[in-house]
Structure 1
Amino acid sequence: MKVSTRIFVSPLRLLSGVLLACGLVLTVACENGAAGAADGRLKIVTTTTMITDLVKNIGGDSVSVQGLMGSGVDPHLYKASEGDVTKLTSADVVFYSGLHLEGKLVDVFEKMGRTTNTIALAEALNKDGLIGSEYFASNYDPHIWFNIEYWKQLTAYLTEQLSELDPQHADFFRANEVAYLRKLDALETDVRATITTLPAEKRVLVTAHDAFNYFGQEYGFEVVGLQGLSTATEAGVQDVQKLARLIIDKQVKAIFVETSVPRRTIEALQQAVKADGFDVAIGGTLYSDALGSAGTDEGTYLGMFTHNVNTIVNALK
């Protein structure tokens, strides 16, 4: 019998080798001057679709932006591929959300810290105003983009960071900041006007996981997620039964699926409610941990927020 002499290299060892090699390449590049894109623009890598959209709004054509996560991708469970590691280590700067949202990328960021500038935009926020959470290493709910005021603060912080990294375009970044903040002000006005049409007693928001607590806090909704704050935790039978009873007791008209969470979790809840003699509709799909497809309204922060509010209000009326 012929014995194979092929040597097996574990994926972990291979990833470590890639990290080391990329780190050495980047170190050499830094010694010879800033890496930058081929055309001289600041080379930026982002994590979530929300952060990618924000950086594009402020950086515009003066920066080169690569986003790791696409539409419908769950940042709680996202793991970096070898290609991602190469992108991350060759960037001038990496912008990410923070508060342990991108939990499985934290180790990669820590290893990169010596060679690549990594910036968590959530660091702009005063922790005293954040919602506490025992499910994240940060001890805070990381779904901060559902508070528009917080998003404005991240916008200002990003502008400041970009201006320091690329002073030649600082005026351009600040002009974009002013324009984008005006859009966020208009969004806030429209959102409040729409939500006002929904009676307070009907503001019960049931979704696949607890991504909307900042939204609920700001606009007076009771928010209940089947899977809790992190999609890494599975909902059990008791969780489903408990939430089904709440829906019946409060006569909730509709519950919602999320683009980044399997639909079956909410469908199971719907069936549990029906088994107890009450009909609850699936009111539509919400964008929670990721924006919609690129090139659509929902593929932007402004469009995503507008879609979510209209969907919630129309279904619960």
Structure 2
Amino acid sequence: MTRNTTGNTRVTTPFTAGSTAAEVIEGVDLRGRRAVVTGGASGIGVETARALAAAGAEVTIAVRDLGAGKRVADDLALATGNARVRVAPLDLIDQASVAAFTATWEGPLHILVNNAGVMASPEARTPEGWESQFATNHLGHFALAAGLRPALAAAGGARVVSVSSSAHLRSPVVFDDIQFRERPYDPWLAYGQSKTANVLFAVEAGRRWAGDGIVVNALMPGAIPTNLQRHVTEEELQRMRAQMGGDGPAWKTPEQGAATSVLLAASPLVEGVTGRYFEDCQEAEPHRPGTRRGVAEYALDPEAATLLWQVSADLLDL
């Protein structure tokens, strides 16, 4: 560990942007542990679930498409030799689905990886009138984690992993107009706001749940070509690729993209660390203007984190 610019201890590890999830978890024994990975049937979710299963954990892949989830679960069980890879239905934009998942969960939960998400999607609203990216990426995972809190507390030393993005640098949470009712809808600002919310959740949950022994951290997985970009045109992807020189992130494989999630989910190197934001298997430095690296000050603001928690709890009637 080293000191960061605020004087706090900054967490560093021997791993890098090129490390894979398998390398990060090598030597870690998760037998007897139980994990949930949302969006575990595609992209970095598959590789996160694979690494946890390979280390011996019982892994539940929480997905909208049960058929795809079942195929992935069977493949992972065969590849890892771990028969305890399960699949369960979960649609994060549907609060009834989230409630059903948490109500049917039995026993302790040691690892929750909030991995699923949508990116830069066209304007859409839930039946409640919520902007769809905020509803899926933040509110769905907020309700899921809150509903599973008793199971996490029962585990003793549980870990919650909130998959954010460098896109959080695009926007803070605009509390005066979270749902884009007054301002024109912008898919990237909406995505950025939801990813900032993922970090603020980690800050506040880490504080609130410390007494239960639950640690919560957020991360930037890296730029990985996955189904997440299904709403992004090839022209936009080309522009993004052109921007990724110099200090910008390089494209990663899904195995590399899952590494930081797995580090936070299972590595002893981050034991007891909570309420922080990581990238490339290190705690991120403060954002430097002109780059796409680091964490924005507003994403770690404890007052904004508390306010977002209150707003979210009110919207969800928790």
Whether the TM-score (by the shorter chain) exceeds 0.5 is: no
Q: Specify the structure having the higher radius of gyration (Cα).
A: 1
Higher helix residue share: 1
TM-score (norm 1): 0.30
Q: Which of 1 and 2 has higher RCO (CA within 8 Å, sep 6+)? A: 2
